[in-house]
Amino acid sequence: MVTEYRPQVVPLVGDLTSDGTAAFFTDAFEAVPAYREAKREALRRIGAGVEKDDEADMEVITGGTLRDVMRVEATLKPLYREIREFTNARRKLHTNRFYSFLKFAGQRCSVLVVKGDHDDDYAGDHQPGRISRISGCQEICGKAVIVDGLSFLELGFDQVRRPRCTSALDEVETRRRALKDFI
């Protein structure tokens, strides 16, 4: 889309690491052999199962209910969430792709990145310094920036409920006036 539409600015808003239910999140767990085996065994013990239907590219419940599968997964995921294999799979499936996209898009236009409410779920994934070091990219959480003569103000929930929001708005107005006087 960046190549086809050639935008001047691309704002990327939120949830680099997970929205809590994203497919890559589930795929990362499934990429961990110990998780798959524990899930298979827990489902077997309650008379349930899941098989991969490659033709349909989906899982099919073979005994038990969706609620059974979800209950087993909800029990196991916290146990495997912090292990290295899960972290590596999650980063490979999503986080690294995000940073690769930033490099690609930053070569073609200005990219503004805003941290989402799930981006603190995994330490080290959302790195404002790393984002801003990518050519063409800026991490703008709680900041006012001017790009190509347009002012942008990032106001997430955290910024709006804090008194410093007013100072950020003042900063945008000051920068806008300065730019107007300059032009």
C-alpha to C-alpha distance for 31 and 170, rounded to whole angstroms:
48
Residue 20 has a pLDDT of: 52
Residue 103 has a pLDDT of: 94
pLDDT at 119 over 90: no
Residue 97 has a pLDDT of: 86
Does residue 59 contact residue 43 with C-beta atoms inside 8 Å? no
| pLDDT tens digits, one per residue of 94-106 | 888 889 999 999 9
**Comparing 152 with 37, which gets the higher pLDDT?**
37
Which residues are CB-contacts of 112 (< 8 A; sequence separation ≥ 6)?
9, 10, 11, 12, 137, 138, 140, 145, 147, 152, 154
